[in-house]
Amino acid sequence: MRAMILNRPRGGLVLTELDRPEPGPQQVLIRVHACGVCRTDLHVIDGELTGGKLPIIPGHEIVGRVVAAGAAVTRFIAGDRVGVPWLASTCGACGYCVSGRENLCDQARFTGYQVDGGYAEYALADQHYSFALPDGYSDAEAAPLLCAGLIGYRALVMAGAAKRLGIYGFGAAAHIVAQVARFQGQQIFVFTRPGDDAGKQFARELGAAWTGDSDASPPELLDAAIIFAPVGSLVPLALRGIAKGGTVVCAGIHMSDIPAFPYAILWGERSIRSVANLTRRDGEEFLRIAPQVPVKTAVEIFDLAQANEALRRLREGHITGAAVLVP
């Protein structure tokens, strides 16, 4: 099979011919039809996330069809369409796993980071960590639901019942979260990089009540804000824009350092929290809600061999919606 492989951080991905893998007892072998390109892939490829497997096939928004199943597989049969997210496995026994917080499991392994992912013609996945996908989405449209969608959804839940919700950075996750938030009756205030007129226009098309530069003040105090951009200096800016009792949610896996700020902008029971990974319950909830909204995903499609190009455009902020590789 053809795969795009990371041999060493900052070395770029290399198109490589590999043997097709064989499924273990709990695994399905998937013919990959689409794989989303996520900012986390950039953090892996750029060496900002260390501790992963090398070489690695990145990609953790996999949509495909089961072509073979291990002896113990009961959830899927050949021909089923499945989605594979970032969470590849957990220990199932630790304090986090048994209390509904498997996203925090110390033994968790992640797709495209510690387990080969979907930048390839075939991928393996554990049956218990794979999802059935709603009809009505093409393979490419469904791919961004699997990380941008469901980790974005977790961030939205963590932001609480905010009537006025700020969103910093309007990429793949934000364009999905904005639709769910509007569906829930929330007002959306979107902050983008100064000069990103295309991003602001896209946000208004998806129902944003206001758009502005990331260093601007919102027209009124917000109830919560979600930061999708990996930029720590946005945290104090977001805190200054929320009302007492509000939460600033940092939704990315990596962020530049947060500068010091006066205690006064945290005072008044404001809080800052991160969102880490996903639980399978997040996935099931979000995949049930998405067709009700209905969430529509904007995708830019690239061939598998164009993965480096897709990543470069994502890094430069030139993707509208989500980039998706179609092998």
In the complex, which residues of this chain contact Zn ion (CB under 5 A)?
Answer: 38, 40, 90-91, 94, 97, 105, 147
Q: Which is nearer to Zn ion, 40 or 179 (CB)?
A: 40
Query: Between residues 237 and 287, which has the closer beta carbon with respect to Zn ion?
Result: 287
Residue 91 or 326: which CB sits closer to Zn ion?
A: 91
DSSP-derived 3-state class of residue 230 = coil
For Zn ion, give the closer residue by CB, 40 or 192. Answer: 40
The backbone torsions φ and ψ at residue 35, rounded to the nearest 5 degrees and listed phi first, read -145, 125
Q: Provide the minimum distance between the beta carbon of 157 and Zn ion in the complex, in angstroms, as a whole number.
A: 17
Shortest distance in whole angstroms from residue 52 CB to Zn ion: 14
Q: Compute the least distance from the CB of residue 124 to Zn ion, in Å.
A: 19
Please tell me whether the peptide bond between 236 and the residue prior to it is cis, using omega within 30 degrees of 0: no
Judge residue 66's burial from the number of C-beta atoms within 10 Å of its C-beta, 0-12 exposed, 13-18 middle, 19 or more buried. buried
Residue 147 or residue 248: which is nearer to Zn ion going by CB?
147
**What minimum distance in Å lies between the beta carbon of 40 and Zn ion?**
4
48-54: long-range pairs with CB below 8 Å, 24+: 48/254, 49/113, 49/253, 49/254, 50/9, 52/113, 52/114, 53/113, 53/114, 53/115, 53/116, 54/6, 54/7, 54/8, 54/9
323: three-class secondary structure by DSSP: strand
CA distance 144 to 322: 6
Find the shortest distance in angstroms from Cβ 148 to Zn ion: 7
Question: What single-letter amino acid sits at 116?
Answer: D
Minimum separation from the CB atom of position 158 to Zn ion (A): 16
- For Zn ion, the closer of residues 77 and 93 by Cβ is 93
Q: DSSP states of 276-302 as a string? A: -S--HHHHHHHHHHTTTTT----EEEE
